[in-house]
C-alpha cells in the first residue's frame, strides 16, 4: 500500500513540475488555444500510452504504472483520465454510455466550477462585509 502511495506522490511531483514549466514557457498562454488545452490533450495522449502501451510493453511493477498515470499525468492534467475512460468505453463497444458520460462530466464540471465560484464570491463577500462593520 505504501509503495503505491509513494509512487503516486513521487510521480505527481514530476507531473506538477512539468505542468508549471510549460505554463511558464508556453508562448500561447494569452489566447484561447492556451496552455491548458494543450496540456489536457497531451496528457490524454500520454495517459493512454501509459495504460495501453507502457503497461503492456514493459515488465514494470504496477506501482510504477500507477505512479506514471495517476501521479505524473494526474498532476499534469486531470482531463487525461476523463478522456481515457471515454476511449475505454468506446473500445468496449459502448456508444450511449460515453455520450452520457461526456455530457454529465462536462455539464457537471462546469456547474461545479460555477457553483464553487459563486460560493467563493459569497464567502469573500461575507468576510468583506464583516470587515466593513469593524
In the chain, domain spans: 1-94, 95-134
Task: Return the pLDDT at 18.
Answer: 93
Residue 16 in marked binding region? no
Whether the model clears a pTM of 0.75, i.e. scores above it, the answer is no
Q: For residue 93, is it left (φ>0), alpha (ψ between -120 and 50) or beta?
A: left
CB of 90 closer than 8 Å to CB of 33: no
Place of cell 470587515: 131
48-106 per-position pLDDT tens digit: 999 989 998 889 999 999 999 999 999 998 788 778 888 988 998 988 988 988 898 88
Place of cell 459502448: 94
**Burial tier of 50 (Cβ tally within 10 Å: 0-12, 13-18, 19+):** buried
Terminus-to-terminus CA distance in the chain, angstroms? 51
Asked if pLDDT for residue 126 goes beyond 90, the answer is: no
Task: Return the pLDDT at 33.
Answer: 53
Which of the pair, 35 or 85, is modelled with greater confidence? 85
Taken in order 20, 39, 99, 116, the sign of the CA dihedral is positive
Asked if pLDDT for residue 114 goes beyond 50, the answer is: yes
Task: Return the pLDDT at 34.
Answer: 65
Comparing CA positions, the residue from 6, 22, 79 lying closest to residue 47 is 79
Residue 69 in marked binding region? no
Amino acid at each position: 500500500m505504501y509503495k503505491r502511495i509513494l509512487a503516486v506522490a513521487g510521480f505527481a511531483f514530476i507531473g506538477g513540475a512539468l505542468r508549471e514549466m510549460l505554463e511558464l514557457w508556453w508562448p500561447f498562454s494569452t489566447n484561447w488555444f492556451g496552455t491548458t488545452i494543450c496540456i489536457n490533450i497531451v496528457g490524454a495522449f500520454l495517459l493512454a500510452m501509459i495504460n495501453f502501451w507502457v503497461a503492456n510493453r514493459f515488465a514494470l511493477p504496477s506501482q510504477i504504472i500507477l505512479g506514471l498515470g495517476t501521479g505524473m499525468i494526474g498532476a499534469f492534467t486531470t482531463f487525461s483520465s476523463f478522456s481515457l475512460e471515454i476511449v475505454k468505453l468506446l473500445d468496449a463497444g459502448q456508444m450511449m454510455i460515453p455520450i452520457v458520460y461526456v455530457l454529465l462530466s462536462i455539464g457537471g464540471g462546469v456547474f461545479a466550477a460555477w457553483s464553487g465560484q459563486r460560493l467563493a464570491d459569497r464567502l469573500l463577500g461575507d468576510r468583506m462585509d464583516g470587515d466593513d462593520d469593524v
